[in-house]
Structure 1
Amino acid sequence: MTTDSERLAELLRQLRKDSGLSTRELAALSFVSQTKIVRIESGKCRPSPADVDVLTRMMEADPDAAASARELATRTTPAYRPVRFSSEVGWRHEQRDLRVIERSSSSIRFFLPAMLTGLLQTPEYALGAVTGALPLAGGAETIVRDKISRQQALNTTTEFVFLLMPAALRLPLLGRAGMATQWQRLIEISHRPNVTIRLVDESERVLEGPMNTFTVYDDRLVTAELFSGMVTLTEQSDITFHRELFNYFLSVSHTEHETRNLIAALYAH
């Protein structure tokens, strides 16, 4: 009896052939390694829903076939991926997967209730994030290097919107000097033409609880971060909910100019 994993491998292999792309060409377009694509098509590697989303987009696959592939990926790969207590290899795979999703997206919206995301972090802040009270498994320096390398995505035409709760800005992860450098980094990034950084207004009445960090990639994928791992959501109802939640918090946030002034005030005192 054919399993869902086998059906998914065969479907992705057939979609690639129909597209006329070789595994090497698809790797170049999708930023998924050729080795991984070959392993996926041979059934030796189970792709995540995010992998399938990126690959079918680059193949320009028929929408119904792409939806079938995503559904199979959802059934064969757990939506929740433990990260914090996994190995260094697991962490590096996580950073690689995020890099692939970011490079294939035209608009990315980050909701950050408690901590700055890796794309905004200075190396010192990133190191503090992975060597805290509950340190991450694996080599901290390697993880930090991978996180910082992902910041190259900010140099592309992809639109980034970072929406911060005040707690994310004020988390004392470093000493005064280190935090001042991090706040200056935020202001520098905010001046990029494809980047928007806004701070939720503390004086506004907030009608929703900022429960966890989440990221909306275009209108096709959401990742939600927990203390110990990450959840990937591909159902349209989940994507719509998080997009509307993001827009709500955006509606009660400071302007970009006001946000820069508020950040500057933090390291000026």
Structure 2
Amino acid sequence: MAIPESFERDRAELAEGIRQLRAVSGMSGVSVARRLGWSQAKVSKVETGKVVASSEDVRALLDLYQPPIEVRERLEERAEALNDRYATLRMLRKRGLHRVQEDIGRNARSTSVIRSFQPSLVPGLLQTPEYARAVFGQPLTMEATDVARAVRARLDRQTLLFDPEREFHFVVTEAALRWRMGDAATMRAQLDRLANLSTLENVRLGVLPWSVFVPQVPKNGFTVLDEREVSVESFTTHRSISEPRDIRFHLEIFQLFADAAIYGDEARAFLAELTREHA
């Protein structure tokens, strides 16, 4: 999935605003770097938008350039919004992935309808403790994670599933169900949990078999919270998308996958067959 157009636009506008302030100040990039204790390459990357400047870095630049208050407020707000929407894995690890899970839980608690599509992994709200431990224990993407705390935070938000005032619609691919996370016992328990949760009145679980033709390649997983936000994760980043056009696009994609999926007894029979394969 490409980076949303609105994100690229805001990043470019922030970078150009910072570049223009330096030009007005008469300082060179080398001079700015020396005054802030940065490398000249960092100044260049910020001004060209190759990196998203942190809120702290933007404030340091604004302190140096001393722009009018309305310009300062506009650039500070843009930097904060961009950093809220684009979090690198390094940033998430530094903060603690258990805290990230707690934030996700708080966001979910303010949501009435959650739609989640996952092509390679069981959705977090549906994971067993053993499966979640396998996810958070991955050596490359989850290195230095406090696994126990991350798992506990993820499981804590699963109580939302039993709130009849909320609606959940999950679509998972056959690939997500076959991908081994843990041993055979872990996979059997996970598949059994999916079958059980699919019987809840407020939970719809769709399974997308390999045998079904879908006219769209499932490039990544995503979760739509009501119709206000889309959460997208990659190996190294987490993005929150709030652009209405991008949200509508994800809702259309979700519905396309949902229409091709199987549900109810048919889905549970499919899960039972997969469970037998792990005997």
The alpha carbon displacement at 1:139 in A equals 1.2
2:121 and 2:145 mapped to 1: Cα distance? 21
**2:262 counterpart (232, 242, 254):** 254
Tell me which residue corresponds to 2:133.
127
Query: Are residues 1:142 and 2:146 paired?
Result: no
Q: CA deviation at 1:87?
A: 3.0
Deviation at 1:120, TM superposition (A): 0.8
Distance of 1:254 and 1:237 partners within structure 2:
28
Offset of residue 179 of structure 1 = 0.7
Answer whether contact 2:232 2:238 (CA < 8 A) is retained. Answer: yes
Instruction: Determine if contact 1:128/1:174 at 8 Å carries over to the other structure.
Output: yes
Q: Which residue of 1 aligns with 2:96?
A: 90
Query: Which sections of structure 2, spanning at least 5 residues, go unmatched?
Result: 1-13, 15-54, 56-76
1:172 matched residue in structure 2: 180
* Aligned with residue 253 of structure 2, among 237, 245, 248: 245
Q: 1:185 to 1:251 in 2, by over 3 A?
A: same
Contact 1:88 1:139 in 2 (8 A): no
**Letter of the structure 1 residue corresponding to residue 187 of structure 2:** M
Do residues 153 (structure 1) and 157 (structure 2) align? no
Output the CA distance in 1 between the equivalents of 2:214 and 2:90.
30
Q: Partner of 2:115 in structure 1?
A: 109
Give the gaps of 5 or more residues in structure 1.
5-45, 47-70
Number of aligned residues: 202
In the TM superposition, 1:1-269 aligns within 5 A as: 75=81, 77-83=83-89, 86-87=92-93, 89-134=95-140, 135-156=142-163, 157-269=165-277
1:228/1:158 CA distance change after superposition, 3 Å: same
Q: CA RMSD for the aligned pairs?
A: 2.2
1:146 and 1:172, CA in 2 relative to 1: closer, same or farther beyond 3 A? same
* Residue 136 of structure 1: how far off its partner (Å): 3.4
Contact 1:222 1:232 in 2 (8 A): yes
Using the aligned pairs only, state the percent identity: 34
Q: Over residues 129-150 of structure 1, what are the superposed CA-to-partner deviations in whole Å (9 max), with x where a residue is unaligned? A: 1112313333111111111111
Q: Is the partner of 1:172 in helix, strand or coil?
A: coil
Aligned partner of 1:111: which letter?
Answer: F
Aligned-partner residue type, residue 220 of structure 1: R
C-alpha separation in 1, matches of 2:274 and 2:145: 33
Q: CA deviation at 1:155?
A: 1.4
Measured at CA, do residues 142 and 251 of structure 1 come closer, stay the same or move farther in structure 2, by a change above 3 Å?
same
Q: TM-score under structure 1 normalisation?
A: 0.70
In 1, distance between residues paired with 2:235 and 2:264? 29
Give the distance between the partners of 2:232 and 2:95, measured in 1 at CA.
21
Taking structure 2 as the reference length, what is the TM-score of the superposition? 0.67
Moved more, 199-208 or 209-218: 199-208
Q: Is the CA contact (8 Å cut-off) linking 1:110 and 1:214 kept in structure 2?
A: yes
Write the letter of the residue equivalent to 1:146: A
Larger Rg: 2
Q: Is the contact between residue 110 and residue 213 of structure 1 (CA under 8 Å) also seen in structure 2?
A: yes
| Paired amino acid for 1:173 | M
8 A contact 1:108–1:160 mirrored in 2: yes
Deviation, 1:75, is: 3.6
Paired with 1:85 and 1:127, the residues of 2 have a C-alpha distance of 21
